[in-house]
Amino acid sequence: MSTGTLIAIIVPVVVVLLVCALAASLIMRRRRLQARFGPEYQRTVEAKGSRRAAERELREREQRHDALHIKELPASTRDRYAHEWDQVQERFVDQPEDAVHDADRLVTSLMSDRGYPTEGLDQQLSDLSVEHGRTLEHYRAAHEVNGRSTRHEATTEELRGAMVHYRALFTELLHNGQKPRESGA
């Protein structure tokens, strides 16, 4: 075989292999983002109007998140937060609107103590989405009810639902995404 024939065979094979490698890389990156962000991945795709724009946005969120100083809480601080949460839940029976407002403040305080910036809801959602994408809808739903509650437009059942939603994110933040250890004898 002549050198020209070998080049004519090898160059297209190399090009096809490079295209396959690139496609595999893109698919793996997409799957990694889908796994990391959970439902937030599809929500971002819909909001941005394209996968490419959404994936760029999600990678930017990861970069911002990596620059944050997110930390686990010491056991004493987790215990204090858990006790405060119990008090907020107890208050719900007699003062549901106040309890929901307190739950929002407690979640925001917990976010701050963990190292998440707390300026603006959109930025909070963006920062939380990197590690807490699976519970982010809980936070959105709770925050929406909290806003309506401020205008006295939320029903008691909606307020109860908001408490459940806040608790989902609160628990995940409190235990750094881990399941809380069961105590018992």
Q: How far is CA 72 from CA 77, 82, 103, 176, in A?
A: 10, 15, 20, 6
Reduce the DSSP state of residue 74 to 3 states and report it: coil
pLDDT at 98: 96
pLDDT at 112: 94
Do residues 139 and 112 share a domain?
yes
pLDDT at 96: 95
* Range(s) of the domain holding residue 41: 3-67
pLDDT at 1: 72
The pTM for the full model equals: 0.77
Do residues 21 and 89 share a domain?
no
The tens place of each residue's pLDDT in the chain, 185 residues long, gives 788 887 888 888 788 778 777 877 777 777 878 888 888 888 899 999 998 899 999 999 999 998 999 999 999 999 999 999 999 999 999 999 999 999 999 999 999 999 999 988 888 999 999 888 888 899 999 999 999 999 999 999 999 999 999 999 999 999 875 555 544 43
Do residues 32 and 102 share a domain?
no
Last residue of a domain, one of 35, 50, 67: 67
**Cα distance between residue 9 and residue 1, in whole Å:** 11
pLDDT at 183: 44
Residue 183 lies in a domain: no
- 8 A C-beta contact, residue 112 and residue 118: yes
pLDDT at 101: 96
Do residues 89 and 152 share a domain?
yes
Least Cα distance to 85 among 51, 109, 120, 56 occurs for: 109
pLDDT at 89: 95
Last residue of a domain, one of 37, 67, 97: 67
Residue 184 lies in a domain: no
Do residues 62 and 126 share a domain?
no
- Name the domain count of the chain: 2
Do residues 122 and 104 share a domain?
yes
pLDDT at 94: 94
Do residues 151 and 92 share a domain?
yes
